[in-house]
């Protein structure tokens, strides 16, 4: 049950794109297409942004997209806006009905 690996921080200017990676193993990220991403603003509950690697729940802007290659998943935020500044967490199914989260990435909009 090791945490997935995310960079602690990422940044970009308004309008730019930024990509956050999430690296696991063949037992979690690489083994299943159940990777999801969550946005968390300070003091708030997490919000689902991407599920099943690349699907967006209704209401989530299409500026948010997800992908996966091997054991690494990625979240891309295009056309950065000030309100995108938040912590982002990836999560993956890890088999045996267990889930695992990444350590989180603080996204700063410069």
Partner 1 sequence: EVQLVESGGGLVQPGGSLRLSCAASGFTFSSYWMHWVRQAPGKGLVWVSRINSDGSSTSYADSVKGRFTISRDNAKNTLYLQMNSLRAEDTAVYYCARDEAWRFDYWGQGTLVTVSS
Q: Is 58 in the site for partner 1 (CB under 8 A)?
A: no
By rule CB under 8 A, what string of x and - marks binding of each residue 68-87 to partner 1? -------------------x
Q: Is 61 in the site for partner 1 (CB under 8 A)?
A: no
List all residues 6 or more positions away from 74 whose beta carbon is below 8 Å from its beta carbon: 19, 20, 21, 22, 66, 67, 68
The region of 17-25, 41-49, 60-68, 69-77 touching partner 1 under the rule CB under 8 A is 41-49
The one among 97, 108, 109, 110 contacting partner 1 by CB under 8 A: 97
């Amino acid at each position: 049950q090791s945490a997935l690996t995310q960079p602690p921080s990422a940044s970009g200017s308004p309008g730019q794109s930024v990509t956050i990676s999430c690296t696991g193993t063949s037992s979690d990220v690489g083994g299943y297409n159940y990777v999801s991403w969550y946005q968390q603003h300070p003091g708030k509950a997490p919000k689902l942004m991407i599920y099943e690697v690349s699907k967006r729940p209704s209401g989530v802007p299409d500026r948010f997209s997800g992908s996966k290659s091997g054991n690494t998943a990625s979240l891309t935020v295009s056309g950065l806006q000030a309100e995108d500044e938040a912590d982002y967490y990836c999560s993956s199914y890890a088999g045996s009905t267990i889930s695992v989260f990444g350590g989180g990435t603080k996204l700063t909009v410069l």
